[in-house]
Structure 1
Amino acid sequence: MPATETFRVPKHRRHVSAVRQHLSKALADWGVTDEVTDVVVLLASELVTNAVLHCRTSYA
């Protein structure tokens, strides 16, 4: 299992579903159980949604 998985998230709500899919795939590849994956994906989805909604950083 890799120690980390890194990817960029564009600053828009429509990309949150892609984050959920990417995270689900990474966790499945690492052999994480479905039950744990569901919880992690839910929490990450909330975190990413809040980040893209409230982030005040623009792309350079």
Structure 2
Amino acid sequence: MLIFKLSSVDFSFACLKNVIFSRANLCHSKFQEVDAENTIFHDATVSDCDFTRANLRGAV
């Protein structure tokens, strides 16, 4: 099983539509104002992430 470490990454203002972050370690990452429509976060670690004003419509 692969686990991707993307902790402390600043994704702010990015277009992340339809991205699959399943099982990724996203701790402390910033998702401010991202467009993450239909993005999959299944079993991802999102503790202490900032999703301020993010578009998470349809995200799992």
Q: Which has the higher contact order (CA 8 A, sep 6+)?
A: 1
Q: Greater helix percent: which structure?
A: 1
Where on the TM-score scale, by shorter chain, does this alignment land: which range?
A: under 0.3
TM-score by length of 1: 0.25
